[in-house]
Amino acid sequence: MAAAMSMRLQGKTILITGASSGIGRSTAFEFARTCPQNLKLILTARRIDRLEQIATEITQELGPGIKVLPIQLDISNAEEVRTFVDKLPAEFKEVDVLVNNAGLVRGVARAPDIVEEDINVMFATNVTGLIQMTQAILPSMLKRNNGDGAGDIINIGSIAGREPYVGGGIYCASKAAVRSFTESLRKELIATRIRVISVDPGQVETEFSVVRFYGDQNKADAVYAGCEALTPDDIAEAIVFAAGRRENVVVADTLLFPNHQASATIMHRKTS
C-alpha cells in the first residue's frame, strides 16, 4: 500500500496552510516521507522563520527529491490571499493538493462576554481565509484533465464543528461553517474529478491550546491533564492517506478521536 501511495503522489504540488506548527507541520513531513522521490511542497503561515526551518529539516532528511517553498502568508488578510497564486513561481503554480489547515481558537468566553477582536480573528482565519484560499486555487484545478478538473481540497474541520460546547461558541460556529462549506463544495464540484475531503480531529496536542489561552502554557497543559491526546502526526497520516487514495476514491469525511474521547466534552481522565 505504501508503495502504491507513493506512486500516486509522485510529482504533485501540495499547498499546506498553517504549516509552521502542529498538524500542518506534521503533514508537510508526512507527505515528504511518503513520496521522497518527487514532490513539491508549498508551506504557508505567518511565522516565516519557522517555515524556513522546516524546509531545511525536510531537505536534510529527505534530499533533493522534495522541493520546498516556504511563503509568509496571513490567511486572514484577504488581499494577501487574493494575490497569492499570481506570486507563486511558475513551477509551483499548479497546486494538486490544497490542505486548508490554518486555524485557531481564542479564549473560552461565553456570550455576552466574547471579545469582538477574537470573534473577528476566528472567523477571518478559520472561515473566510479557508474559503478565499479555496477560491484562489480552484480555477487552476478546474482547467485540468481536459476540463474535467483534477485535484484535492482537504479541509481540516473539528469535532467542534459537529458538536458545539460551552465556551466555544465562536470556534464551534467557525468549524460548523467549514463543515457546511465543505459539503456544499463537494456537491458543487460533483461533475468534476476534484475531490473534496474533510478531516475532523478530536483532541490533538499542539500549540492550539496555548493560542486559546493567549500564551498561558499552564492553562494549556491542564487541557491535556490525565489524557493521552492525539499527536499531530496521527492527523497528518489521515490527511496523506486521503490524498494517496486511487483517484476514484474520496475519503469524504473522517473523525479522529484519541481512545479516551467520545465527544467534544466526554473525555475520560485518569486521576492518579
Ligand X SMILES: NC(=O)c1ccc[n+]([C@@H]2O[C@H](COP(=O)([O-])OP(=O)(O)OC[C@H]3O[C@@H](n4cnc5c(N)ncnc54)[C@H](OP(=O)(O)O)[C@@H]3O)[C@@H](O)[C@H]2O)c1
Considering only residues 13, 27, 34, 101, which one is a binding residue for ligand X as defined by CB under 6 A?
Answer: 101
* DSSP 8-state code for residue 204: B
* Smallest gap from residue 26 Cβ to ligand X (A): 8
| Binder among 75, 81, 170, 197 for ligand X (CB under 6 A) | 75
Looking at 99, 208, 239, 267, which residue binds ligand X (CB under 6 A)?
208
Q: Could you give the CA distance from residue 188 to residue 208 in angstroms, rounded to a whole number?
A: 32
When the beta carbons of 39 and 220 are compared against ligand X, the nearer one is 220
C-beta separation of 14 from 42 below 8 A: yes
Q: Which stretch binds ligand X (CB under 6 A): 55-63, 72-80, 143-151, 258-266?
A: 72-80
CB of 173 to ligand X, least distance (A): 13
Site string for ligand X, 237-266 (x = CB under 6 A): ------------------------------
Is there binding between residue 207 and ligand X (CB under 6 A)?
A: yes
How many residues sit close enough to ligand X to count as binding (CB under 6 A)? 31
**What stretch of H or E contains 69?**
strand 66-72
Task: Kindly identify the residues of this chain, within the stretch 24-43, that bind ligand X according to CB under 6 A.
Answer: 24
